[in-house]
Amino acid sequence: MKHLIISLSLILTAMSFAQDNSKEQLPYYEVPEYSKEFTAGTVAARMVDALGFRFYWSSEGLSENDLAFKPNADVRSTGETIDHILSLSYIIVNSTLQKGNDKVDTSKLTYEDKRKQTLLNLKSAADILRTSDDISEYKIIFGEREIPFWNQINGPIADAIWHCGQLASFRRSSGNPINSNVNHFRGTVKKD
């Protein structure tokens, strides 16, 4: 009996530790080290990394009240904005995977799942871009239409960055501002 209790205690502790670490393991707590050389791929990757960092912190620790917040009836709520950023992240990653864009059903995903998937999509895209010699091959594909990578920059990437600013503003308005230790210029978090 004593061994059973010890075993259960160890398993519960390990599960608790694993859950705590899962939050730490999400990409973009800080912006990754920058590349030693400037190429189209490393610059595009850095843009996606910056988006990932901004999304990480604008979406971190939101409450149900935050997710429901919207300044007026004519705009998306914070939760709906997160859904939109997730859809943009699929366009970004699908481009780098050279894959067409189909509607993805995210209706059963929790806020945490959507946040995690967005961050993983952005990390995957940035990793591919970082090692690319020719980013022109990463077209946005909608059915038979192929749209050049240029539109990725002024389209989904810039749009998602814009919406991260909305998340930051909305959460401040709902009483839950971004962690004040976040330094967007450096892409780091000051340790307490």
* 100-135 tens-digit pLDDT: 999 999 999 999 999 999 999 999 999 999 999 999
Does residue 18 surpass a pLDDT of 50? no
Torsion, Cα of 55, 23, 80, 50 (10° steps): 10
Domains and CATH numbers, the chain: 41-61+75-189 (1.20.120.450)
Contact call for residues 139 and 92 (beta carbons, < 8 A)? no
Mean of pLDDT over the chain: 89
Which of 12-16, 104-108, 124-128, 161-165 has the least mean pLDDT? 12-16
Quick one: pLDDT at residue 182?
94
The residue that leads in pLDDT, 23 or 59, is 59
Virtual CA dihedral for 64, 69, 74, 76, nearest 10 degrees? Answer: -50
pLDDT at 172: 96
pTM value is 0.86
- What are the pLDDT digits (tens) for 32-61? 999 999 999 999 999 999 999 999 999 999
pLDDT of 11 over the 50 cut: no
